Each structure stands twice: as structure tokens, then as C-alpha cells.
Structure 1
Amino acid sequence: MTLTTFALADQNFTLRRALGSDVGPIVELIARDQLRAAVESGAPEHRAPYLAAFHVIDADPAQLLCVVDSADGAMVATMQLTFIPGLARGGALRLQIEAVRVDEGLRGNGLGSAMISWAVGEGRQRGAALVQLTSDKSRVEAHRFYERLGFTPSHAGFKLQL
């Protein structure tokens, strides 16, 4: 299902809801990331947990896993949106943007900005009062990118591996 299209420079891209057949290319894109390469496996024999996670995500109306296809049909980017209801901020709905990845060869052409802009608009349309995301502390370029889009660093994040 096509959600929107982007015309950037001389290239056209289609943002759509991910399908089960996209799980392999999504994992491969994530695994090419320097911080995730040691953890993620794009190998077909390791896809069962990813497929199981995809089915949970796809069945949940509060989740939207998106991919972006180039004009030739190659999957070149992905992001996951999660809509989180909460009691804080007067019962406000929050949009969490995670796992944003753009193929290395397409960075700097405006695709990432177009994706985030679309996601913010989707959040507004669904009634979100706040958009939040996390980024590893070592991703200095990503931090500059998000700040250029109007995001401000506001919280310290903590994780506990289980």
C-alpha cells in the first residue's frame, strides 16, 4: 500500500507499508549499519525471529513499518513508527520514530528529510502531540540531521539488556 511518493532531484521514490517479503531487505539494510553489523544477521537462515517480529508489528495498528522503494523497485530505506498513548502531557499521544535507515549511496539527497517530514505529518494526522526518537550517542551526523529538522536533544536515555 503506497503511502506517499517523493520526487527528489531526478529520482522518484515510493514510501509504503512494509510487507513480509520486505523483511530480508530491511534486515540487510540494518545489518549494513556499522553499529548493528555485529548483532544483526541478514542471512536467510536467521530470518525466523525477524519474520515473527514483523507479524507482531504488522498486526498492531499502533505500529507502522515503512519502506521506501526507488523507481527501479529496489528497497532503499526504512523506518518504524510507533504511536504511544500515555497519561503524561494531558493524555497525549506520542509518535516514536525508530530504525531509520537510508541506503548509504542515497544519503544527502533529501530522502531522509522527506521520510521524517512525512512521519511528522502522519503523527499530526493521527493526533500525536509529540514526536520523539532516539539515536546512538556516537551518531554525530545523525544528530546534526535531526537538529536540522527541528528536533532538540532533550533527555538522557538508559537501556538495560535482558
Structure 2
Amino acid sequence: MNHKLTFRLATENDLVTIIKLLADDALGALRENIELPLSENYTRAFTRISNDANQELTVGEINGEIVGTFHLTFIQYLTHQGSLRAQIEAVRVHSAYRGQGIGTKLFTYAIDRAREKGCNMVQLTTDKKRPKAIQFYETLGFVATHEGMKLKLGY
């Protein structure tokens, strides 16, 4: 990759591109709806994220084109002596740019943001149906220390 990857907070104008990135894999295609106009649910969620100082929806660009995204949430805990941790979710790289180190750069940037905010830990969840993603996270130093569980409430 010869072009510089730059990062910025997402704007509402980026929403369609971000949703398309989220839908651009086997599991995301089952969950997201990229029909235009986008569902108001996406706009409401974006507004809540953007207005919350503890959340950052970030895009990575090359020459003005969005090639990746992630959502970082800063969570205050009482455990670990009242520490702050970062939760990284919704990491996606545009399919045309995969395998070029962009995912690693997205994570490096996200981890640096967590350090800047004073977090003592970065955590993530990933679907067990994504073994390649799990291997990738392990190469970045993430360790599967807990078993995650979810209770779907519908939508």
C-alpha cells in the first residue's frame, strides 16, 4: 500500500458508506440493511454515538476514500481499581483493501486512542463464526480470557 491512511471521526455524510462496510461480509450481510434511503434507526444511532463523549465512530481514508471503520466506546468501571477501558467493535476494511495491513493500522490507531484517554485495557467481542478474525486479533496481542454471552432482546 503506497498511500497514506488517515483517520477522522465519522460524519453523518459517511453513514451510507459505513453501513455498506458493515454489510460487506457473510455475517454482516445478514444483519444490515443497505437499502436506500437508510433506515432511520441508523441515523438515530449515529446521532447518539456522535453526541456521546464516550464514543467514537472513526473512519480510515486513503485519498479521501473511506477504506475502513471502527467504533470505540470508553467504559468506566469500578473493577480494576476504578479503571477505564475501551471496547472496540464494528471493525471493517473495504473488501478491495483487505490484506494490505489496513486492519492492523485501524487497531493501532484505536489502541493509541484508548491510551490517550487513559484506558488500562482494550477489549472486543467477535463472533465465533469468524475464525480468521480471531486469529488476526491474536496476532495483535488480544487474548481470549473470558467467555462472552448475549441475550437477544429483538429489534
TM-score strictly above 0.5: yes
Q: Please report the TM-score for the alignment, with normalisation by the length of structure 1.
A: 0.91
How many equivalent pairs are there? Answer: 153
Which residue type is aligned with residue 8 of structure 2?
R
**Which one of the candidate residues 116, 119, 123 is aligned to 2:114?**
123
User: CA offset at residue 80 of structure 1?
Assistant: 0.3
* Structure 1 residue matching 2:132: 3-state secondary structure: helix
Query: What residue number does 2:6 align with?
Result: 14
Query: What residue number does 1:41 align with?
Result: 33
Separation in structure 2 between the aligned mates of residue 79 and residue 39 of structure 1, nearest angstrom: 17
Separation in structure 2 between the aligned mates of residue 149 and residue 117 of structure 1, nearest angstrom: 9
Task: For structure 2, list consecutive stretches of 5 or more residues without a partner in the other structure.
Answer: none
Separation in structure 2 between the aligned mates of residue 105 and residue 128 of structure 1, nearest angstrom: 33
Q: Please report the TM-score for the alignment, with normalisation by the length of structure 2.
A: 0.95
8 Å CA contact retained: 2:20, 2:34? yes
Query: What residue number does 1:88 align with?
Result: 79
User: CA offset at residue 45 of structure 1?
Assistant: 2.7
**Which one of the candidate residues 104, 113, 119 is aligned to 2:95?**
104
RMSD: 1.0
1:145 equivalenced with 2:132 (yes/no): no
Which residue type is aligned with residue 22 of structure 1?
D
Task: For structure 1, list consecutive stretches of 5 or more residues without a partner in the other structure.
Answer: 1-8
Q: Percent identity?
A: 41
Separation in structure 2 between the aligned mates of residue 98 and residue 122 of structure 1, nearest angstrom: 14
Q: Deviations over 1:37-63 (max 9, x none)?
A: 122111123331101100000000000
1:156 equivalenced with 2:132 (yes/no): no
